Amino acid sequence: MMGFLRMVTPPASPPAKRSRRQRRVRANGDGFPVFLPKEVKDIKDPFARALAQRIVRIPVPLQMGNFRGCVMSSCIKPIVQQHDKSPVVLLHCFDSSCLEWRRTYPLLEQASLETWAIDVLGWGFSDLGKLPPCDAASKRHHLFELWKTYIKRPMILVGPSLGATVAVDFTATYPEAVDKLVLINANAYSEGTGALKDLPKSIAYAGVKLLKSFPLRLLANVLAFSSPLSENIDWTNIGRLHCQMPWWEDAMVDFMISGGYNVASHIKHINQKTLVVCSENDQIVSNQLSVKLLCELKNAVFREVPDSGHLPHVENPKQFVKLISDFASGKIN
């Protein structure tokens, strides 16, 4: 796939053979990891197909509530780690996955940025057969344990929409783990899941099934993107692929009744240099909220991405990557 770095090495001795189990976990005949839902084969977007083939699971220790153990956590790992630069760590929107970064990730690698794309606990493609708590505190602690175990250096943490809320929540709790922040069309002023947390579980599960439905997801895509219908249909299938994971409904209900995120009071305590990004044509989060965020943060700059809606990293990846690259290098300050 064009855009992904390839490591070329001289011929050497044959690699050690993997066990049958390792080969089964790694990939099926189409190159996709076997833990991905079978519907991944129906995706047409070449960027999504290429990135899906790079999804791996890594063990992350987690102790929350009554859960004790390791979560096999899905992510996209960098090919090479650069210990002299801050790594870029990509979160995703509400109820999404690392495939959201399908058009941006290869460009970030081309820009020589060490880049991780992380599935937030309770979403994405992790192995949650034994379900841990999926509330905000567990999502935060899981990300910290992943950072502490594998990344180990202050990072440039990037979050779109609710992912920006996740990033603010994480940074307020673990400031030592974050070098800089990038908040995209940030949904940082929502007050959790509101009345949804008080729903009976039977009603909550019914609501989650509706959230999973193709028509509702397609409507969300039409609001987010100004793309042809055929492309929106494929992008809808990408956006709901993780909903086919067997634990997804349980994880969503757990998050819903936990109350979700409420981080507005944390914003003024964020000291890290922050790039606030908004889109010219966002139909989901008002640009006024980005301006409010800019004013409340202690050390922030503002940029607008033209010709894009709620997810500029999907619609205008080249412009977005330039912003990230310039921010990482200090050209934006």
Looking at residues 263-277, what average pLDDT do you find?
96
What's this model's pTM, rounded to 2 decimal places?
0.89
Each residue's pLDDT tens digit, 100-151: 999 999 999 999 999 999 999 999 999 999 999 999 999 999 999 999 999 9
Quick one: average pLDDT of 145-166? 97
Give 214-252 pLDDT, tens digit per residue.
Answer: 999 998 888 887 777 888 899 999 999 999 999 999 999
Output the pLDDT for position 184. Answer: 97
Secondary structure (H, E, C), the chain: CCCCCCCCCCCCCCCCCCCHHHHHHHCCCCCCCCCCCHHHHHCCCHHHHHHHCCCEEEEEEEEECCEEEEEEEEEECCCCCCCCCCCEEECCCCCCCHHHHCCCHHHHHHCCCCEEEECCCCCCCCECCCCCCCCHHHHHHHHHHHHHHHHCCCEEEEEECHHHHHHHHHHHHCHHHEEEEEEECCCCCCCCCHHHHHCCHHHHHHHHHHHHCHHHHHHHHHHHCCCCHHHHHHHHHHHCHHHHCCCHHHHHHHHHHHCCCCCHHHHHHCCCEEEEEEECCCCCCCHHHHHHHHHHCCCEEEEEECCCCCCHHHHCHHHHHHHHHHHHHCCCC
Asked if the model's pLDDT at residue 73 lies above 60, the reply is yes
- Active-site positions read 161, 282, 310
Average pLDDT of 206-217? Answer: 92
Band (pLDDT 50/70/90 cuts) for residue 192 is confident
Over residues 245-260, mean pLDDT: 96
pLDDT of residue 14: 37
Please state the rounded mean pLDDT for residues 72-99: 94
**pLDDT value of position 87:** 97
Percent of the chain residues topping a pLDDT of 90 = 77
